[in-house]
Chains A and B, each alone.
Chain A
């Protein structure tokens, strides 16, 4: 049977995103796509390959090279009852649309009650030698802007389920999809329709000694570190945030209350990052249950460098986590 075959078939993170878009477009005719080169070319990463032929040029809109203009247009279309999904070719280019996202989309409902149900897909992150303009993690900019929801899946299951949830959400959602994971991470997906609810973190590995709070590609690094540390008897718990706004404080707190030690790990640079906010929250609300210093692992405050040794030095590594965990376990 075809359906059984599909259930056991491994689907890549990239294919999961593509499936979510396809299924939502088939399910709801209000859903349409906008972005640069997403039509005939199928998108810079080929996520929308074949969509133009299937849905036509008015549901798969190739836009002029003008991020602010087409994000603004998505806002207007969303207010008029459509469900736009905008592709930023690279998350880095989202800075061109910053004004529309933070000033119009984010504040619209608060100011005059008009909802903006739209999704911005932002392929982010490094490890692919993209340099300072093709590797950025810009989630911090939006983490600080009330009115936006932010999600960042780490697995094909979460990628598909969170994109569906984002499309069905009545608010502007920025969907940070990690480029490094596109073709490297695969898993089988259920046949039936499913969503991963926005606002729920997921414990990707249960452990008792130290909580690692992370998201995106770093989840896999944390899992690798946890594996490496089992022989030493250090038992890591890996909490995948999945949603950055609204933040699932409950899952974070219950993990930290259990382990009483915490490492915050992310790929966005350290200063003013999501880890800084979580550290502050833990200091405010979980101070009594901490048995060691809050440890942050994040890249230094530089742009993402280009040359392989430079980028390797920049990005967090499994060994960084292993040595931080050893120190924290011994504290």
Chain B
């Protein structure tokens, strides 16, 4: 598929905005990685390095009222949903100003008002939950859509299959995706499943599926748009397999020596930012000086975030006792 030809369907402003978020995601995660190496981060760090186009592409394709139940390398989706770099860094530093007020760390953050479900480490646990949100939209006759996914590893979990089956049976307005980055921690795809493509799993549920170049933000955006349109029309769920490569270890403490270096070199050429720049040039939407400007802009956005996070207070110990139970549930 000639993405450059089809990408003309994407509005110039949308393309430029996606480029901004690709750079912002990269800059933010690079900064988080640097802070981690300095020992300033509380807990682990899981980045989307080399995979930024997936979250940026699908989150850009959604409407404001839609809901996202993200995968753990979907930083771009948080940024697009309005999480500031300051809030996100505060989360990584365990500060009270982070979205979980220090109760949870890293990408384990969510906010119902911004339509983002908090991530659960038990991979694929959020897929049935996302299907349930879609059920609520369908029952109330709303035209809202849910976007949710997991990795190639998570697609082996029962909850992945239970969610897809339930959503297909009830034709729910949900889009499932798999970020196939070829490794689940150190486990390669060939030890995860006996089939070459994760998308084949969706056939068993009578669900249309598509393989998408996960490093091409325009391809991700367009595929997401198609799947979202099907969901919004009441025709049920779609499955998207985003092929990509995890360029860092499972987490920043993992040097990922189990990944052949040649494979990484190969995928480096397919870097989503480089790809987006080539596409922007081809479409006549941007050039080197513009790319440079965006790089500087996002850098200052990230630095402002670091300053906010570092100046934010840590929570007081006894605050850990708060919030086990809710006392009112009618706010959403």
Which A residues have a C-beta under 8 Å from some C-beta of B? 32, 58-59, 61, 63-64, 66, 68-82, 84, 99-100, 103-104, 107-117, 146-147, 149, 170-171
Contacts and interface: CB of A to CB of B under 8 A. Distances in A.
Given A72-B163, A147-B325, A114 B112 contact: yes
Nearest to B69: A76
Most B CB contacts (10 A, CB to CB) among A68, A76, A110, A146 go to A76
Nearest to A74: B132
Interface of B: 67, 69, 99-100, 103-104, 108-112, 117-118, 120, 122, 125-139, 146, 158-159, 162-163, 165-166, 169-170, 323-332
A76 B118 contact: no
Contacts of A147: 324-325
Contacts, number: 157
A113 B113 CA distance: 11
A196 B290 CA distance: 65
20 contacts: A66-B166, A68-B158, A70-B162, A72-B126, A72-B132, A73-B163, A76-B69, A76-B128, A77-B132, A77-B133, A81-B332, A100-B129, A104-B120, A109-B326, A111-B104, A113-B111, A114-B110, A114-B112, A115-B328, A115-B331
A71 B158 CA distance: 13
A76 B130 contact: yes
Closest 8 CB pairs of A and B: A72-B128, A76-B132, A69-B162, A170-B329, A73-B132, A115-B326, A80-B136, A112-B118
B169 A100 contact: no
A80 B69 CA distance: 13
B87 to A, nearest CB: 12
Given A69-B162, A111-B104, A112-B99, 4 more contacts: A79-B332, A81-B330, A100-B128, A113-B100
Nearest to B138: A58
B110 A72 contact: no
A252 to B, nearest CB: 20
B325 A77 contact: no
Most B CB contacts (10 A, CB to CB) among A69, A107, A108, A114 go to A69
Nearest to B142: A80
A149 B329 CA distance: 15
B108 A72 contact: no
A58 B329 CA distance: 22
Given A73-B129, A115-B326, A82 B136 contact: yes
Contact of B127 (A72, A79, A117): A72
B116 to A, nearest CB: 9
B326 A72 contact: no
Contact of B125 (A103, A110, A113): A103
Given A66-B165, A80-B133, A112 B128 contact: no
Contacts of B134: 76
A116 B110 CA distance: 14
Contacts of B126: 72, 104
A72 B159 CA distance: 8
B117 A79 contact: yes
B159 A80 contact: no
Contacts of A63: 166
A72 B118 CA distance: 14
A171 B327 CA distance: 8
A82 B129 contact: no
B159 A68 contact: yes
B120 A103 contact: yes
Nearest to B166: A69
A149 B324 CA distance: 11
Nearest to A149: B325
Contacts of A111: 100, 103-104, 108, 110, 118
B166 A73 contact: yes
Contacts of A76: 69, 117, 128-136, 146
Nearest to B146: A76
